[in-house]
Structure 1
Amino acid sequence: MQTTSTFESVLRGMAITVIILFFMFPIFWIFLMSFQTNETILRVPPSPFFEPTLTNYRSLISGRLEGSTATLEIAFMSNLYNSLFLSVTSVTVGLLLGVPAAYAFARLKFRGSEDIAFTLLSFRFAPPLLVLLPLTIYFQQIGLADTYGGLIWVYQLIVLPLILWIVRGYFEDIPADIEYAYRIAGHGFWATFRKIALPLAGPGIAAAGLLAFIFAWNNFIFALVLASADKQPVTVGALAFITASGINYGQIAAGIMLSIAPTFALALYAQRYLVEGLSLGAVKG
């Protein structure tokens, strides 16, 4: 029996190792590319052994990309700041609006509530191109074109339905009797929401916020159409790497590593909330 258990543990460890290597190898290879020159990257056959250089990162931070025939000015760090500001602000607004709405849909059953909730979710299904033209015209009329406020508003089409539906499920998993007992003790609706529902659904709210941040960070089409170069996030600003004079793969790799760093760090920090959130409904009796 002990031999069988040890054999299963070894197989499980080998399977996990293979899966990790399979999914992490592209990121590892891009990480290596970010410390190489074009000549090293394009050599045949490729080799993991090279003399590392920080030139690619210095070029991105300074905003001057040295090409084969010319020097290109690029505001990569400004684009990185735009991504961080737009994503954080959009998720914050989405949580402020979506969490109370999710609690209302979970606890206050009224006529048409399911239809309203599904209508909000349908915004997530709609392709962005479907709403871009009317949004562009509408924003130009009310003065929100090419503004951070307009982009944050549009980003709610991405983050708000996601937060609403995920957090609603966590609120529905919380036994309502706990809240009823707290209210019988003389506390109001909002006090119950703040002191009982919010702490219990905390892991679910954190998980929803993390997923919403990743979707907002990765958005491309809204910022491409609705914002100018000085307000575009890194997903759009990365287009400047491809020019008529050539493609510097090392600088692209360095840009990828810098652009995934915030989401990767956030995922590492919030992974315990994800685990708690996934096991939230498993302890119900």
Structure 2
Amino acid sequence: MIGVQEKNYKSYCFNSLNYSVIFIYLLFVIFPIIWIVLLSLKTEVQAFANPPLFIFKPNLMNYYNLFVEENFGKYLFNSIFIASLSSIVCLLIGAPTAFALSRNQNKTNQGILIWVLISRMAPAMTYVIPFFVVFSYFKMIDTYFGLILAYSVLNLPLVIWLMRSFFLELPSETLEAAKIDGASTFQIFRKIAIPLASPGIVSTGIITFVVAWNEFIFALVLTRRHAVTAQIGIGNLQKFEGTEWGQMAAGAIVLILPAMIIAFFISKYFVQGLTSGATKG
């Protein structure tokens, strides 16, 4: 009886320690978001009050000024359009490539995979100047096509490696049976591999969209006015007259929402996709 009580006490202490660590971690993660939300609802006087105000009358003027005076709606549309199309392009190219690399485990494919991995490991800054020079020559600076192309090149290695791990999880017996029945490689890919790997495709699409959505360096260097994204639009709130902290906070909240909404509605596929591709590779 004493042994059982001692075991229960140790289990209680261990669980209490775990929950305490989780609570502290969540506090560090959530508190900045709460602070930004409060800042976005304050006037300039309230924002610089000392001590900080946690009880105040909220207003939405920062959001109004952000979209009406700063034309943030156009920047937001640019971000959604560019991130979505670049994600689609990456999936259209990366999924067939990953399927081909997962089916044939030879030295040539291994070399291709290593090259793809090395290209993804290089910092984004190493690509900015070459992209700028080439895009300037072909007059692709400040265009949707140019930024979509840059994001696709940046994220394609990530898509290939993620999708390859999902395709490796597919039962080889099913694929071989389809091949014996006379199905071509493209038919196997389209009718069997794609449906079976759909959770992985969804999760890869989410990750690719979020990476493109949060990208800053390429958008800063390769855009001027027409194709400016929301991330650059927030940076433009740092003006010579001063920084619009309330509007910057409002913009940050707006930028958080799309990724949260997407993740909320397809979280089941996202989690299923991540777990299904986590055991092989």
Q: TM-score with structure 2 length normalisation?
A: 0.89
Gap change, CA 1:134 and 1:15, over 3 Å in 2: closer
Q: Which amino acid aligns with 1:116?
A: I
In the alignment, is residue 174 of structure 1 matched against residue 178 of structure 2? Answer: no
Partner of 2:126: 130
Gap change, CA 1:247 and 1:139, over 3 Å in 2: closer
Partner of 2:40: 34
- Alpha-carbon displacement from aligned partner over 1:61-118 (angstroms, at most 9, x marks no partner): 21x2xxxxxxxxx221111111111100000000000000000000033442122222
| Structure 1 residues 174-193: aligned runs within 5 Å | 174-193=170-189
Partner of 2:213: 217
Which of residues 111, 120, 124 is equivalent to 1:115? 111
Q: Secondary structure at the match of 1:247?
A: coil
Q: Percent identity?
A: 36
Report the alpha carbon displacement of residue 142 of structure 1 after superposing the two structures with TM: 2.5
Structure 1 unmatched ranges of 5 or more: 65-73
CA distance in 1, matches of 2:97, 2:54: 51
Partner of 2:57: 51
CA distance in 2, matches of 1:145, 1:40: 41
CA distance in 2, matches of 1:242, 1:253: 12
CA distance in 2, matches of 1:31, 1:245: 24
- Alpha-carbon displacement from aligned partner over 1:169-214 (angstroms, at most 9, x marks no partner): 1111222112112222332222211222112211222111111111
Which of residues 136, 141, 152 is equivalent to 1:156? 152
Partner of 1:260: 256
Report the alpha carbon displacement of residue 56 of structure 1 after superposing the two structures with TM: 0.5
Q: Which amino acid aligns with 1:242?
A: Q
Single out whichever of 251-260 and 21-30 deviates more from structure 2: 21-30
Contact in 2 for aligned 1:229/1:237 (Cα 8 Å): no
Report the alpha carbon displacement of residue 17 of structure 1 after superposing the two structures with TM: 3.8
Partner of 2:66: 60
Q: CA RMSD in A?
A: 2.3
Aligned positions, number: 274
CA distance in 2, matches of 1:61, 1:208: 31
Contact in 2 for aligned 1:159/1:213 (Cα 8 Å): no
In the alignment, is residue 4 of structure 1 matched against residue 8 of structure 2? Answer: yes
CA distance in 1, matches of 2:231, 2:63: 17
Q: Which amino acid aligns with 1:197?
A: A
Q: Which amino acid aligns with 2:75?
A: N
Partner of 1:240: 236
Report the alpha carbon displacement of residue 131 of structure 1 after superposing the two structures with TM: 2.6
CA distance in 2, matches of 1:184, 1:174: 17
Single out whichever of 108-117 and 171-180 deviates more from structure 2: 108-117
| Structure 1 residues 17-28: aligned runs within 5 Å | 17-28=23-34
